[in-house]
Amino acid sequence: MRTVPGIVLAVLAVTVTACSGGNRTADTSSATAAPPNSTTAATTSAQPDCTAGFLAQYTTRQKLAQLLTVGVNGLADAESLVRSEQIGGIFLGSWTDQSLLADKQIDRVKAAARTPLMVTIDEEGGRVSRLSNLIGAAPSARVSAQTVSAEDYYRESVARGRAMKDLGITVDFAPDVDVSSQPDDSVIGDRSYSDDPEVVTRYGDAYIRAMHDAGLGAVMKHFPGHGSGSGDSHTGAVRTPPLDQLQQVDLVPYRALIGSGAGVMVGHLDVPGLTDPGVPASISPQVMSLLRQGSGYGAAPFDGPIFTDDLSGMAAITSRMGIADAVAAALEAGVDNALWINSDAVTQVLDRLEQEVREGRLPLKQVDDSVLRMARYKGIPMHC
């Protein structure tokens, strides 16, 4: 697995309760991508396991809150939500007041968090861009792949990544590594680098390297592949080609990039030969198992963070269930971080998740493993 700099979330200290040495802050020298199965590695005298101490600082509700990323409107709701529920991340969408970034209000939100906060956005360039008026416009993925070399694209993306970091962003939900020949203006379309898996892999790799070198987290999407889907998951259910066909095309970039240190976002996709009827990939245990084990599509095991696509604004999921049911189903399936785009239901969701833990449907060990994956992805050290 390639090691990459952790997401530096300085200023905010993390108390590691059961470890000696007191409070420590994240730093790039010690925060690297975790090796597979590191959460269950045996304790040795040379490398004592501090994960138990790290987890001991949280109540069950606080652990569950670390597994949520929630869309916010601006300073008031972001600061209130982080302070009251200590969620793990916020999402900045097209509706978010940009003074949160432009006027450095985001620093107040980060200061309300006991654990370093993820500040996320989906800045792809082209028509999926939230920051063009703050950091300038960028071409779509498809145009970039057609007009500049992968290394030139890397250099351009590093500059944009640094500009995003300067604004206070820590994670970009990009690159889109869907393999697609759809028309430019379709749901994936020009968000895809190419209909050639090798081209998608090369440019996706360049973008991931750029974000890491700029100090941001990257997230590949939409696993296991939206590029040949039957429609738009914003408006309804989407059926992909069968799994055996995805193996030859859509899953190729993931197979190559799974050790890059990027997270993975799972789409709301019905996949014949993989998902059960009526259960989209984002809440499917079979999909999480495929991704974690890797052997089902010829890849290495993945022990990084798995994110959902938006659970509250896309009909492929909302036509089937409400937000509390969707978040519970996603975490129970094996997702590490549930994403949705409004802040209204956070308390309701956390109440529901606590109930799922109490009743044994969401094992606390599974919650702990996800908390640790998210902490490592953020670059939080767990030194004794």
Place of tokens 């730093």: 27
The amino acid occupying position 132 is: S
Q: Which residues pair with 128 in a beta bridge?
A: 125
Tokens standing for 262? Answer: 């990027």
In the DSSP assignment, the letter for residue 218 is: E
Enumerate the active-site residues. 234, 309
Tokens standing for 207? Answer: 């973008």
Task: Please list the alpha-helical segments (H only) found in the chain.
Answer: 51-56, 60-65, 75-85, 99-102, 106-111, 132-135, 141-147, 150-167, 197-214, 243-248, 252-257, 285-293, 315-318, 323-333, 346-358, 364-378
User: How far is it, in rounded angstroms, from Cα 82 to Cα 85?
Assistant: 6
Over the range 8-33, which residues count as b (16 or more CB within 10 Å of their CB) and which as e? Answer: bbeebebebeebeeeebebeeeebbb
The set of residues, in sequence order, having a beta carbon less than 8 Å from that of 56 and lying 6+ positions away, is 17, 18
User: How far is it, in rounded angstroms, from Cα 242 to Cα 150?
Assistant: 30
